[in-house]
């Protein structure tokens, strides 16, 4: 990734229905238990609202405020209106510039060039992505694959966590 960003960034690339979110929901707690703080960027192809009609934040955003920051003693959300063009990963990483995290995990942005782990399930019969994406550094699959990059077991999140720590976090351990 060609930008001055010092935290390690790793993506998970797969077709819909492969289990990206399921794997990440197991992987993130494992990394946390091992002492690593993880941030996440999830790209959506759909329009969405995190504030609701009738709430002050919604009214003020609709009135033209951007960004709108919602904050409590429990969490913070920043809502920024974008231009309608597809966002880039580099533009989103600024959210993590002043945070105390060790790693940014990305779900989506699979067309961009940064380190990614491909997820593959044999039953879905999808072609492998690593053959056309040189930034894929490993594959997590539920079947044996004959590939020239590391192959991990998608059903063993501990193995994926070990790989990520070795590749991206050893200097921070």
Predicted TM-score of the model (pTM): 0.84
Domains of the chain: 9-43+87-172 (3.40.50.300), 48-85 (no CATH)
Whether the per-residue pLDDT at 98 is higher than 80: the answer is no
CB of 145 closer than 8 Å to CB of 151: yes
pLDDT at 3: 46
Cα(155)–Cα(142) distance, rounded to whole angstroms?
7
For residue 68, how far is the Cα from the chain centroid? 23
Q: Which residue has the tokens 């990614």?
A: 116
β-bridge partners, 78: 69
Cα(149)–Cα(80) distance, rounded to whole angstroms?
39
CA–CA–CA angle 3, 6, 10 (5° rounding): 85
Give tens-digit pLDDT for 45-67: 655 667 778 888 888 888 888 88
CA–CA–CA angle 90, 18, 134 (5° rounding): 45
* Whole-Å CA distances, 110 to 11, 58, 144: 8, 31, 23
To the nearest whole number, what is the mean pLDDT of the chain?
Answer: 87
Select the more confidently predicted residue: 23 or 75: 23
């Amino acid at each position: 990734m060609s930008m001055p960003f010092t935290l390690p960034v790793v993506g998970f690339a797969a077709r819909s229905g492969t289990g990206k979110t399921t794997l990440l929901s197991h992987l993130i707690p494992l990394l946390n238990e091992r002492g690593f703080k993880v941030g996440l960027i999830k790209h959506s192809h759909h329009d969405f609202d995190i504030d609701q009609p009738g709430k002050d934040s919604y009214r003020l955003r609709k009135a033209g405020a951007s960004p709108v920051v919602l904050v409590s003693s429990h969490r913070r959300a920043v809502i920024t209106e974008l231009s309608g063009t597809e966002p880039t990963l580099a533009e989103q990483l600024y959210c993590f510039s002043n945070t105390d995290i060790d790693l940014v995990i990305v779900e989506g942005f699979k067309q961009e060039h940064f380190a990614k782990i491909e997820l593959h399930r044999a039953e879905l019969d999808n072609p492998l992505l690593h053959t056309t994406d040189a930034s894929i550094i490993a594959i997590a699959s539920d079947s044996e694959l004959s590939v020239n990059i590391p192959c991990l077991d998608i059903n063993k999140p501990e193995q994926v966590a070990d790989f990520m720590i070795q590749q991206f976090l050893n200097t921070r351990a």
